[in-house]
């Protein structure tokens, strides 16, 4: 009989930018002018957003919905005009934009200023991507695959920045097409190192595991990509937001149970999932 064991990926869970944003939110709940609200979800993790609400940090959909108190800018960042409008309205603004996202903003602004046609590799409509485009004065084309370039009339000089949670493979595919079509291509690789580390660790573990559990928001791009990467090597890959979604049947005939988590998943959520699986395995043994 196979003796199941649990292994957590060597790099998994909350990254620096998310941890910083969460620390700022909890600090604001204690000390900032009230009420305290985030502008949109602080991070893409519904469970964490619910926990923040319980701690006194609610969510607003737009600046116009806020009359007073404190607004926290989400880790994904926003277009500059949003912060300007909030400050003009007399609202206390705490900018929790991830420093790595701000690096993308700076790179996008510089490329546009230097006359490059800007290509943003990322998910169209994603808050981080909208913020990047906004920092480029709207002068950007968003592409998620090399095929998206087919409909773009490329300039002679093209500049590229990347949504922080994209994969190197996606960037390489797009750049290879650009190099063939444009005279000059300048690439600023703004993929976050934390994203790459989590993807590599997840892939390594999935290649050995019998079953993989990926923890994090279903609305989290980086978590969904972790699940996709794991699925490529481990057919029995399951993406959950909360340990209550676990199914004991997933772990039958499993030797190695691998666990990874997106960059917006706190360590406490990983611990809770591990404990729940251990309880399931213990219950199975007793039967």
Q: What is the total residue count of the chain?
A: 287
First-to-last CA distance in the chain?
15
CATH of 100-191, one of 3.40.1010.20, 3.30.750.24, 3.20.20.410, 1.20.950.20: 3.40.1010.20
Tokens found for residue 251: 């772990």
Q: Which fold has domain 16-98?
A: Rossmann fold (3.40.50)
CA–CA gap between residue 193 and residue 198 (Å, rounded): 9
CA–CA gap between residue 69 and residue 65 (Å, rounded): 12
Q: Calculate the alpha carbon distances from 143 to 19, 127, 131, 182, 262 in Å.
A: 29, 15, 15, 16, 23
Half-sphere exposure of 42 (CA within 13 A, CB side): 32
Q: What is the pLDDT of residue 68?
A: 94
Report the predicted TM-score, pTM, of the whole model to 2 decimal places: 0.86
Q: What is the pLDDT of residue 78?
A: 95
Question: What are 47-101's pLDDT values in tens digits?
Answer: 999 999 999 999 999 999 999 999 999 999 999 999 999 999 999 999 999 999 9
128 among known catalytic residues: yes
CA–CA gap between residue 137 and residue 61 (Å, rounded): 22
- Report domain extents, the chain: 5-13+194-286, 16-98, 100-191
Q: Calculate the alpha carbon distances from 152 to 24, 148, 155, 168 in Å.
A: 40, 8, 9, 22
Q: What is the CATH number of domain 5-13+194-286?
A: 3.40.1010.20
Q: Is 214 helix (H, G, I), strand (E, B) or coil?
A: strand
Whether 5-13+194-286 shares its CATH topology with 100-191 is answered: yes
Q: What is the pLDDT of residue 287?
A: 55
CA–CA gap between residue 223 and residue 216 (Å, rounded): 6
Q: Which residues pair with 163 in a beta bridge?
A: none
For residue 150, give the DSSP letter.
G
Tokens found for residue 106: 């700076």
Q: Which of 19, 11, 66, 65 is nearest to 42 (CA)?
A: 19
Q: Mean pLDDT across the stretch 168-188? A: 96
- Among the listed residues 7, 19, 123, 128, the single catalytic one is 128
Question: What are 118-153's pLDDT values in tens digits?
Answer: 999 999 999 999 999 999 988 999 999 999 999 999
Q: What is the pLDDT of residue 284?
A: 67
């Amino acid at each position: 009989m196979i003796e199941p064991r649990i292994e957590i990926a060597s790099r998994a869970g909350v990254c620096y930018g998310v941890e910083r944003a969460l620390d700022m939110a909890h600090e604001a709940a204690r000390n900032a002018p009230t009420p305290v609200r985030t502008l949109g979800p602080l991070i893409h993790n519904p469970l964490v957003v619910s926990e923040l609400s319980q701690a006194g940090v609610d969510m607003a959909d737009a600046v116009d919905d806020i009359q007073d108190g404190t607004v926290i800018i989400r880790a994904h960042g926003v277009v500059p005009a949003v912060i300007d409008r909030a400050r003009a309205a007399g609202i206390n603004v705490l900018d929790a934009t991830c420093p790595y996202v701000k690096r993308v903003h700076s790179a996008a602004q510089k490329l546009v200023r230097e006359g490059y046609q800007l290509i943003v590799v990322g998910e169209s409509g994603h808050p981080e991507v909208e913020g990047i485009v906004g920092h480029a004065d709207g002068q950007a084309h968003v592409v998620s695959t090399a095929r998206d370039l087919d409909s773009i009339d490329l300039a002679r000089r093209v500049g590229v920045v990347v949504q922080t949670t994209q994969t190197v493979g996606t960037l390489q595919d797009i750049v290879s097409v650009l190099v063939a079509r444009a005279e000059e291509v300048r690439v600023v690789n703004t993929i976050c190192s934390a994203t790459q580390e989590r993807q590599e660790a997840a892939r390594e573990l999935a290649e050995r595991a019998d079953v993989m559990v990926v923890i994090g928001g279903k609305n989290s791009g980086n978590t969904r990509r972790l699940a996709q990467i794991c699925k490529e090597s481990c057919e029995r890959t399951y993406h959950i937001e909360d340990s209550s979604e676990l199914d004991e049947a997933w772990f039958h005939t499993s030797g190695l149970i691998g666990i990874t988590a997106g960059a917006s998943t706190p360590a406490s959520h990983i611990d809770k999932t591990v404990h729940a699986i251990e309880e399931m395995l213990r219950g199975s043994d007793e039967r």
